Amino acid sequence: MVNEFDYIASISNTLEGDSWIAVIDNKVVASGKNSKEVFKKVKTDYPNKEPFIMKVPSDATMLM
């Protein structure tokens, strides 16, 4: 099983820089321009899950 960081690194070229993302079960389930909106969406859509939330660097190659 791939952990969240490895999953994010594998899709880093598809992520929008300077955005926030939430990952659950190796799937991006929410994204947005601020962490509060991402967290709120995840907790509404997945109330019983613990998301991995992070800000995507403006230069996505920093994830490598």
User: In the block, which residue shows the tokens 């690194």?
Assistant: 9
Provide the token pair at 29. 């389930």
- CA 62 to CA 57: how far, in whole Å? 7
Asked if residues 53 and 40 have their Cβ atoms less than 8 Å apart, the reply is: no
What is the model's pTM?
Answer: 0.82
Q: How far is CA 60 from CA 13, 15, 38, 40, in A?
A: 7, 7, 19, 24
pLDDT over 90 (residue 12):
no
pLDDT tens by residue, 14-50:
888 899 999 999 999 999 999 999 999 999 999 999 9
Q: How confident is residue 61, by pLDDT bands cut at 50, 70 and 90?
A: low
31 — phi, psi (to 5°)?
-150, 155
Instruction: Locate the domains of the chain by residue range.
Output: 4-58
